[in-house]
Amino acid sequence: MENFNKQKFYNYKQTKLIGKKLINFKTINSTNDYASKLENKIIKLNKNIDFYNVLNGTIIISETQTNGHGRNYKKWISPVGGLWFTLILYSNIKVADLEKINLIMAISIYEAIKSEFDIDIKIKWPNDIYYNGKKICGILSELNSFNDAAFLNIGVGLNANNSFKDLFLNNLEVISYASSLKEILNTSINKEKLLCNILKNFEINYENYLLNKDMKNIFLKIKNSILI
């Protein structure tokens, strides 16, 4: 299975800010945890550094995670083939807004998958995506606050080319609740292209949210595709 190709990513990229810098790993503890450590390190190095230009829009991505997790540190299995990444934004978003950010990312992923593959996926409020009752994606947004601002770390675990049937043949519980795009479509996914489409959608949706703080139009996009 091919590793994530950084050059292909930049060839597909259509965003202005998001994805301007991509840091990729073969394996890592957790992309969200690495993002927080990187932010703390830069903060300590130079209090006068221009945080906005240094990290804003950066993507941390890894082929595998040894300690991927969702809310309440619930373990997220992250084998080779998945799309495991964190988007860093310099933001004045508050903790109370994190569920909205989760939903904006979920909708952006939903739009990317629907436009490319046209499969009947659903968003389970506020941070999961399902197909036919099986989870294919989870989202975890976290704030790393300092002074009057914060880094917003949006972590995504998307089952793309990984196979749960191969990895967990003897674990029927895992097979029963998880699936991947490759298993659903029976073909390999272009991860670089899919990631770029997700980021393009997110940049549009996020900018619209910052402009008017209105979630109504965002909800209208998926009103028939939400699982409660």
Confidence check: pLDDT of 218 > 70: yes
pLDDT given for residue 10 in this prediction: 96
Which CATH superfamily does the domain covering 15-227 fall into?
Bira Bifunctional Protein; Domain 2 (3.30.930.10)
Q: Is the pTM of this model over 0.85?
A: yes
Q: What is the pLDDT of residue 176?
A: 59
- pLDDT for the residue numbered 66: 87
Termini Cα distance of the chain: 36
What percent of the chain clears pLDDT 90, i.e. is strictly above it?
Answer: 58
Question: Which tens digits make up the pLDDT trace of 33-74?
Answer: 999 999 888 877 766 677 677 899 999 999 999 877 666 656
Q: Among candidates 51, 114, 54, 61, which has minimal Cα distance to 87?
A: 61
What residue segments make up the domains of the chain, in order of their start? 15-227
How do residues 153-206 score in pLDDT, each as one tens digit?
Answer: 999 999 999 987 655 544 444 545 789 999 999 999 999 999 999 999 999 999
Mean pLDDT of 71-90: 84
Residue 186 zone, left/alpha/beta (φ > 0; ψ -120 to 50; rest)? left
Give the pair of three-digit tokens for residue 170. Answer: 């003897």
CA–CA dist 24, 30 (Å, integer): 12
Higher-pLDDT residue of 219 and 183 is 183
Beta bridge partners of 143: 152
pLDDT band at 219 (very low <50, low <70, confident <90, very high): confident
| Mean pLDDT (whole number) for 144-153 | 82
